[in-house]
Structure 1
Amino acid sequence: MADNYQIDNLDRDILNELMKNARIPYAELAKNFSVSPGTIHVRVEKMKQAGIILGTQVEISPKQLGYDVCCFIGIILKSAKDYPSALTKLENLEEVVEAYYTTGHYSIFIKVMTRSIDGLQQVLINKIQTIDEIQSTETLISLQNPIMRTIRP
């Protein structure tokens, strides 16, 4: 499928409903939008092939699983050439749940989840700060996450 696939109003409506409930049957979507289930199926498949729909996932609550500390760590690398190897090492740390290659003061900005402040300290001292490619870090602890949403089609 071409990279320039343009979504229309039906595609947008389908995406909005799937974002609310990815398990909604195609037949129910078809009924809601006055089209055939086959049309829904074809549209969803086209959006998958175009890379608009990447998959479905279960949303979990980190707090309910005991992960009470969320923080963001800005990382300054010793050299720009260190990015690939530093990223590989960070990817191997289960506490690192997101990573971004950034412009500005930091080379990499990561999101880390731990069960406690003590756990965060251990991750910083024994894992992140032992990565040779890292020159320095700055840690920002999140107090709450009042806005969390995805892009709307």
Structure 2
Amino acid sequence: MNKLDEIDFSILGYLQENGKRSYTEIAKLLSVSEGTVRTRINRMLKDGVFEFIIHMDPNKIGLNVQVIIGISTKLGLQEQIARTLNQFQEVRFVGAFSGRHDLILQAYFKNNDDLVHFVNKELANMDGVISVDVSIELKQYKDSFSYIVK
């Protein structure tokens, strides 16, 4: 992977502000050619620096219950459990952490009944899960995928 320079970070910043911004507009803002912007974006996409995604508001598509679940696992089974969790459509994020929980996941559900089913049927029947700690989001103050600080 190539090292990112100031122009790359500027391109990322402009795309982060508005992912529909044209290459021509970005080129004008940076005083470079459209070809330069196109080449750099294609390189960064190829290198996996970023990807174009659609970020939806879960509440507006019927996913009204957002949770963070901490999971304690039996030694040696953390990765197996993480791979299993990855297969659930409701699960948006799974990560291994230091601290009280071995795995932490973020998931979205249509309602509390779906959450209860997930915990009591799916997680409870997963070999190696010792305990779970469910935290339901009450109010959201920030939801961002922005990593570039201007």
The TM-score, its normalising length taken from structure 1, stands at 0.88
1:144 paired residue among 134, 139, 143: 139
Runs of 5+ consecutive residues of structure 2 not aligned to the other structure: none
Equivalent residue for 2:11, pick from 10, 14, 18? 14
1:15-94 map, 5 Å:
15-53=12-50, 55-79=51-75, 81-94=76-89
- Correspondence 1:117 to 2:97: no
For residue 127 of structure 1, give the secondary structure of its aligned residue in structure 2: helix
Which residue does the alignment assign to 2:102?
107
Deviations 1:48-69 (A, max 9, x none): 344322x101111110111111
Task: Tell me the number of residue pairs that the alignment of Structure 1 and Structure 2 aligns.
Answer: 148
Letter of the structure 2 residue corresponding to residue 32 of structure 1: L
Indicate the SS of the match to 2:21: coil
The structural deviation recorded for 1:13 is 1.9
State the TM-score, normalizing by the size of structure 2: 0.90
Identity of aligned residues (%): 24
* Aligned structure 1 segments of 4 or more residues deviating by more than 4 angstroms: none
Q: Aligned partners of 1:38 and 1:72: how far apart in 2?
A: 43
What residue identity is the alignment partner of 1:75? I
Match of 2:135, SS state, is strand
